[in-house]
């Protein structure tokens, strides 16, 4: 099967592992990353504003992405970016009438930009958030299903023989990896005050509390995760 993924082409992203898994199953896979269409080297500090507010930019990357996917002529299209313009999906579905177009959402309702995925007519919706799946299925009558993420053992490998051995080496009770939104920081703060030895890896979100800095390590990718995951 020939499969197109609209999403991040960065190493260790969700899309990277989806492509790796599908390639392992002998499918032909290509990632189309509309964030890489126009480089923002000179105007890096304005990148986020342009992406969110410029209609000229949105129209250009949406048309370019739709055209590139259509020319690839896949049997299946997977969208993972939550801000794929509905026009892009509409154009792809109109031209590729025999290719299902599905959405795999890696986050929850509060991080869905302008809710572009709900303005797009995907054939199927998948999410790792059970509450979101229930909301989409019961409230919006969408064809939504639960799809959990898992550890990719082909990319991250561990040499630890046992869980106990790993715990002795890293000296951490709980490792939390992800983007640290304010609600997560409050939960983590409560756990730390309960005496749990917590370390944090990933990306600091907005309003990251200064007192949690001493528990924050650094972003980890690929094989580096093997020092912490067992």
**What does the pLDDT look like over 10-31, one tens digit per residue?**
998 899 999 999 999 999 999 9
Beta carbons of 22 and 29 less than 8 angstroms apart:
yes
Task: Write out the E strands in the chain.
Answer: 2-6, 28-32, 76-79, 101-105, 124-127, 144-146, 174-180, 198-204
**What does the pLDDT look like over 170-192, one tens digit per residue?**
778 888 888 898 999 999 999 99
| pLDDT for residue 56 is more than 60 | yes
**What does the pLDDT look like over 197-227, one tens digit per residue?**
998 988 898 899 999 999 998 777 777 776 6
pTM: 0.81
**Residue 124 and residue 177 share a domain:** no
In which domain, by residue range, is 32 found?
2-146
pLDDT of residue 43: 65
**Residue 112 and residue 12 share a domain:** yes
**Residue 172 and residue 115 share a domain:** no
Determine, yes or no, domain membership for 193.
yes
Determine, yes or no, domain membership for 157.
no
| pLDDT for residue 167 is more than 80 | no
Q: Give me the chain's average pLDDT, please.
A: 88
Instruction: Tell me which DSSP letter residue 35 carries.
Output: G
pLDDT band, residue 109 (cuts 50/70/90): low
| pLDDT for residue 55 is more than 80 | yes
**Residue 193 and residue 221 share a domain:** yes
Determine, yes or no, domain membership for 155.
no
Counting the structural domains of the chain, the total is 2
| pLDDT for residue 152 is more than 80 | yes
pLDDT of residue 196: 92
Determine, yes or no, domain membership for 152.
no
**Residue 112 and residue 198 share a domain:** no
Mean pLDDT, residues 122-133? 93
Q: Is 93 helix (H, G, I), strand (E, B) or coil?
A: helix
Instruction: Tell me which DSSP letter residue 53 carries.
Output: H
* 104 class by beta-carbon count within 10 Å (0-12 exposed, 13-18 middle, 19+ buried): buried
pLDDT of residue 110: 66
* 215 class by beta-carbon count within 10 Å (0-12 exposed, 13-18 middle, 19+ buried): middle
């Amino acid at each position: 099967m020939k499969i197109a993924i609209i999403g991040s082409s960065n190493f260790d992203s969700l899309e990277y592992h989806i492509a790796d898994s599908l390639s392992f199953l002998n499918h032909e896979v290509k990632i189309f990353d509309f964030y890489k269409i126009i480089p923002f080297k000179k105007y890096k500090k304005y990148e986020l504003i342009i992406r969110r507010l410029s209609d000229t930019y949105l129209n250009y990357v949406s048309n370019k992405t739709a055209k590139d996917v259509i020319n690839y002529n896949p049997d299946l299209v997977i969208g993972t970016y939550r801000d794929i313009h509905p026009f892009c999906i509409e154009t792809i579905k109109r031209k590729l009438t025999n290719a299902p177009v599905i959405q795999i959402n890696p986050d929850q309702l509060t991080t869905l930009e302008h809710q572009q995925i709900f303005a797009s007519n995907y054939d199927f919706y998948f999410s790792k958030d059970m509450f979101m799946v229930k909301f989409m299925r019961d409230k919006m009558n969408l064809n939504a299903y639960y799809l959990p993420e898992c550890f990719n053992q082909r990319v991250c490998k561990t040499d630890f023989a046992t869980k106990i051995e790993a715990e002795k080496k890293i000296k951490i009770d709980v490792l939390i990896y992800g983007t640290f939104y304010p609600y997560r920081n409050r939960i983590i703060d409560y756990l730390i005050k309960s005496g749990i030895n917590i370390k944090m890896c990933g990306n600091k979100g907005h309003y990251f509390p200064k007192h949690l800095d001493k528990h924050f390590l650094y972003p980890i990718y690929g094989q580096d995760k093997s020092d912490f995951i067992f």
